[in-house]
Amino acid sequence: MESTKKIPSDKIYNELENVLKFYSFKNSTLLSNFLRYIVTETIDERQQFIKEYSIAVNALSRPSHFNPHDDAMVRIHAGRLRKLLTEYYSSDGKDNSVIIHVPKGGYVPEFVHNNKMRSPDLPVSTNKTSPVITVFPFKTIAHRPDLEAFSQILSEEISAELSRFQDISVIGHFSSDVIAKINENILEAANLIGADFIITGHIQIISNKLQIRVNLIDSSSGKFILTKLFTPATLDDGIRIQNEIVKDIVASMGGYYGIIFKEMIKTAPSKIANNSVVLKAICSYHEYHCSYSIENYATALSNLTEAVELAPNYAIVWAMLGEMQLASIALGLDNCKKTIEKSSHCISKALNIDPNCQQAWYALAIINCFKKDQDNCLAAAEQCLKINPNSSGIASGIGCVLIFAGYFEKGFNLLENATHINPAHPWWINVGYCYYYIHKKEYQKSLYWAEKMDFNETIWDSLLKAVSLSLLSEDAKAKTHLNNLLELQPQTATELKETLSSFMFSDEIVFRIINSLKRIGLKNDF
């Protein structure tokens, strides 16, 4: 770490002003005062006076009898401050020459030179923007023409349906040289064509029973990532069997909750870091949807912002960036009116580049929900699903959005079908289920989905648990979660209605949610 003496105080003051112009700080007077106080004290070499008590009294307007042993206010706000600084230096401030850092375990800031600034002469690899999947022919153990025909059609259909996913590349047809190599060694064949993953399998008859085995293999290690066995009685209804297998395989492998991207994220050093900014951005987006944290959100936002700057012709990253900007509102991280405008620009950019980009239509449905445009929300949702109905992650997201937009049964049915095909789903889908069951006044089911969240860095975890328990008259448990919510987001009383109403159409349900919290002690500051 660089000391303050190596960075002139005027540069530190300039950086402080840059940070305080960031929308999240402009919307939080408390955190702005907190940061200004500790930075100023440090520059003036009064670090020894930066204690919980002095911060509370001098920056946070607490009374002189404030007792830090009984009140965790400063510690809570320090955690929020660190998160906002991470968000800022992952987005607007990523190229600033100076970084203000507040280490955990203390309140004295450190000022460091940003050694991660991107050189304008640094070459950018954009040659590989998505994982490459190859579908090799399925082997038929018994030499029967009907099995061989079924095998060929199955391989082609899996290839065709996987190719609908715009964030993966599929190879399904091969030269004679590659086919010869496939028969010798499938790993060498995959490496020959540059594939990251192999889908293959076999079809056989054992004791007069048909067995169809489908395998997903990591081409670099030979590891079996997924294997599925299908046992239809006969091939008499070949088209139906083929459609069922293809739907099952494609839904479980493709999309941001499919196993391909899960595996990509796990093997990030070998398959992501040395490839393009586009692939890196897409994988960080997928990781955010798999597991929420402030860090994952900030990383995805930063990587997507970098990707559109360095590779501006990829519709999918523009669409993902637009969606992530909207997420900041729903997560209670941002209430800036310009966010929807910025998001709209990204989504329009994506659709101009590629009018058939499913991710862009998905983001358009979401932004129409935020704009309270119910008809266009539905129209965008239907177009999105038409492009690729087997994308279970996007289908579940669309179901959730339609529930928020007031299409309760249509959205719920989409959610149910998507999660039935692929039980894994984006973490925030639980919010849609809770909202639906609060609408139906089935509060025990709402609590069930709230308890499945387990993401304590987001307001939705404690909020939905507190609401569901309050509506079930389990007040003691509800108050515990309300207290957790207020520790995480002290401005809940003043900001909750705006956050809920930003994308939830039903004023009656918003009122019921807020009223349930007021009943257990939330102050009436609306």
Task: Tell me the CATH number at 190.
Answer: 3.40.50.10070
The verdict on residue 120 lying in a domain is no
The verdict on residue 119 lying in a domain is no
pLDDT value at residue 267:
58
What is the tally of structural domains in the chain? 4
In this structure, the answer to whether residues 455 and 359 fall within a common structural domain is no
pLDDT value at residue 325:
92
In this structure, the answer to whether residues 141 and 236 fall within a common structural domain is yes
Longest dimension (CA), the chain: 88
Q: Are 389 and 356 in contact (CB under 8 A)?
A: no
In this structure, the answer to whether residues 398 and 359 fall within a common structural domain is yes
Q: Are 298 and 91 in contact (CB under 8 A)?
A: yes
pLDDT value at residue 488:
83
**Burial of 300 per CB tally in 10 Å (0-12, 13-18, 19+):** buried
Final residue in a domain of this structure, among 80, 113, 146: 113
The verdict on residue 418 lying in a domain is yes
Distances (CA, A) of 279 to 52, 126, 254, 465: 43, 9, 15, 36
Low-confidence ranges of the chain (pLDDT < 50): 1-5, 116-127, 268-275, 526
In this structure, the answer to whether residues 91 and 138 fall within a common structural domain is no
In this structure, the answer to whether residues 419 and 500 fall within a common structural domain is no
Structure tokens at 281: 């951005």
pLDDT value at residue 129:
56
Final residue in a domain of this structure, among 86, 113, 140: 113
Q: Are 489 and 517 in contact (CB under 8 A)?
A: no
The verdict on residue 267 lying in a domain is no
Residues in the chain: 526
Cβ–Cβ contacts within 10 Å for residue 265, how many?
A: 16
- pTM of full prediction above 0.75: no
pLDDT value at residue 83:
75
Q: In which element (H, E) is residue 230 found?
A: strand 224-230
In this structure, the answer to whether residues 220 and 323 fall within a common structural domain is no
Residue type, 211: Q
The verdict on residue 295 lying in a domain is no
In this structure, the answer to whether residues 236 and 159 fall within a common structural domain is yes
Residue type, 465: K
Cβ–Cβ contacts within 10 Å for residue 27, how many?
A: 16
Q: What angle do CA 303, 392, 507 make, to 5 degrees?
A: 85
In this structure, the answer to whether residues 136 and 241 fall within a common structural domain is yes
pLDDT value at residue 256:
63
In this structure, the answer to whether residues 158 and 233 fall within a common structural domain is yes
Distances (CA, A) of 2 to 18, 45, 101, 104, 438: 19, 15, 11, 17, 52
DSSP H stretches of helix in 224-357: 238-253, 259-266, 268-271, 277-290, 294-310, 315-330, 338-353
What residue numbers bound the domain in which 519 lies? 440-525
Structure tokens at 402: 């339609």
Q: In which element (H, E) is residue 209 found?
A: strand 209-218
In this structure, the answer to whether residues 155 and 233 fall within a common structural domain is yes
In this structure, the answer to whether residues 86 and 137 fall within a common structural domain is no
The verdict on residue 462 lying in a domain is yes
Least Cα distance to 195 among 250, 137, 133 occurs for: 133
Could you tell me whether strands 110-113 and 98-101 are parallel, antiparallel, or unpaired per DSSP bridges?
antiparallel
Burial 160-177 (b: 16+ CB within 10 A, else e): ebbbbbbbbbbbbebeee
HSE-up of residue 410 (Cα within 13 Å, Cβ side): 13
Q: Are 246 and 226 in contact (CB under 8 A)?
A: no
The verdict on residue 298 lying in a domain is no
pLDDT in tens, 216-232: 998 888 889 889 888 87
Final residue in a domain of this structure, among 252, 270, 293: 252
The verdict on residue 434 lying in a domain is no
Spatial distance between the Cα atoms of 470 and 310, rounded to a whole number of angstroms = 49
pLDDT value at residue 351:
92
Q: Domain containing 340 — which CATH number? A: 1.25.40.10
Q: Are 245 and 212 in contact (CB under 8 A)?
A: yes
Please give the sequence-ordered ranges of beta strands (E in DSSP) within 46-138, or none if there are none: 98-101, 110-113, 132-135
The distance of Cα 517 from the centroid of its chain, to the nearest Å, equals 28
In this structure, the answer to whether residues 349 and 372 fall within a common structural domain is yes
3-state secondary structure of 521: coil
Spatial distance between the Cα atoms of 301 and 328, rounded to a whole number of angstroms = 10
Spatial distance between the Cα atoms of 390 and 258, rounded to a whole number of angstroms = 11
